[in-house]
Amino acid sequence: MIPSLLGISLVLFTVLAMAPGDPFEELATNPAVPPEVRAALRAKFGLDDPVWTRYLHWLVAMIHGDWGFSFVSRMDVDKLILQRLPVTLIVIGSSQIIAMLVALPVGVLAATRPYSLFDQVANTLAFVGFSLPTFFTGLLFILVFSIQLDWLPFVYRANIDATGWQFYWEHIKQSIMPVMVLGLFQGASLVRFVRSSVLDVIKLDYVTTARSKGIGERKVITKHVVRNALIPVVTLVALQLPIVFGGAIVTEQIFRVPGIGSLLISSMLSNDTPVVMAVTFVIACLVVFFNLLADIIYGWLDPRISYR
């Protein structure tokens, strides 16, 4: 894990250092700001040092728990990220829950009645769902639900001036679209995966045995089939997490959700290297963490897998 994070940071740092422009670009085109100010700022933030010394500085500071200082906002990067992280976690977390809630029943039901009308409809919809990129469905949702029907707001506001039920209702209303866009995209590919995984298991001998013992169909499916079929699905959910984060960056930009994804984009556009480094680092850590979580869930699903 540590070597991979090191590698990621090194590549990122070099690419960012080679990209054109610098965080004080806007000053250069403003005639009222003397060039010396820009030079002083560059010197102050160490932008004139060679790339490798800057990288070493960053690395040493990072090891000591210092995430750096944003050039653009002039505040500590960890504070900036802590402001944004909860929103991203809530949006991504609830979209994953939606994805599971949709994919599991639909996938299982489709597999138990293969090639029925329900299976075909579910398959078609799933295909459409994961073929459409999130930026497209996002815009489509805005056009339909915000502009045509005027039901939901399309600008996400983290600070809502309300209390009690009103507060939660407003939050749910503005979260519906971003969560649905992400959740349905994720859910669509999961449906296909759950279906094929269940189909694999349902033909196995022990399922036939269970049925012949006279256990009810419902119990056979939930106790014997689904639990075993879930093992590959959990792997997929964990592996797809980077894609979800990618999707979240786009969705956050479209709905103006103040999460780490939109922070990443704006920092990239303004060449704010410390923030870009930190956000990618956080995303990398989250991906590693969720893989760990998947390993733990394996143990619960199939005790044979866990370490003794």
Q: Which stretch binds other proteins (CB under 8 A): 31-39, 178-186, 195-203, 216-224?
A: 31-39
Q: Which stretch binds other proteins (CB under 8 A): 1-9, 35-43, 199-207, 297-305?
A: 35-43
Q: Does 142 bind other proteins (CB under 8 A)?
A: yes
Q: For residues 197 and 232, is the Cβ–Cβ distance under 8 A?
A: yes
DSSP annotation of 148: I
Q: Which residues lie across from 69 on neighbouring strands?
A: 76
Q: Does 227 bind other proteins (CB under 8 A)?
A: no
Q: Which is nearer to other proteins, 146 or 235 (CB)?
A: 146
Binding other proteins (rule: CB under 8 A), the pick from 9, 16, 47, 84 is 84
In the Cβ-directed half-sphere of 81, how many Cα atoms lie within 13 Å?
A: 19
- For the bound state, the minimum distance from the C-beta of residue 88 to other proteins, rounded and expressed in Å, comes to 12
Q: Does 9 bind other proteins (CB under 8 A)?
A: no
Torsion angle, alpha carbons of 255, 257, 260, 265, to 10:
40
Q: Which stretch binds other proteins (CB under 8 A): 2-10, 33-41, 223-231, 279-287?
A: 33-41
**CA distance to 110, 125, 226, 236, per residue, from 215 (Å):** 21, 33, 15, 30
Q: Does 154 bind other proteins (CB under 8 A)?
A: yes
Q: Does 150 bind other proteins (CB under 8 A)?
A: yes
Q: Which is nearer to other proteins, 173 or 211 (CB)?
A: 173
Residues 6 or more apart whose Cβ sits within 8 Å of residue 56: none
Measured CA to CA, the distance from residue 96 to residue 243 in angstroms comes to 12
Q: Does 20 bind other proteins (CB under 8 A)?
A: yes
Tokens found for residue 277: 């480094």
| Residues comprising the chain, all counted | 308
Angle value at C-alpha 121, between 116 and 127, nearest 5 degrees: 125
Q: Which stretch binds other proteins (CB under 8 A): 18-26, 99-107, 198-206, 213-221?
A: 18-26
Binding other proteins (rule: CB under 8 A), the pick from 3, 35, 65, 164 is 35
Residue 1 three-state SS: coil
Binding other proteins (rule: CB under 8 A), the pick from 8, 49, 73, 234 is 73
Measured CA to CA, the distance from residue 106 to residue 100 in angstroms comes to 10
Q: What is the binding site for other proteins (CB under 8 A)?
A: 20-22, 24-38, 40-41, 44, 69-70, 72-75, 80, 83-84, 142, 146-147, 150, 153-155, 157-159, 161, 253-254, 256, 258, 262-263, 266, 270
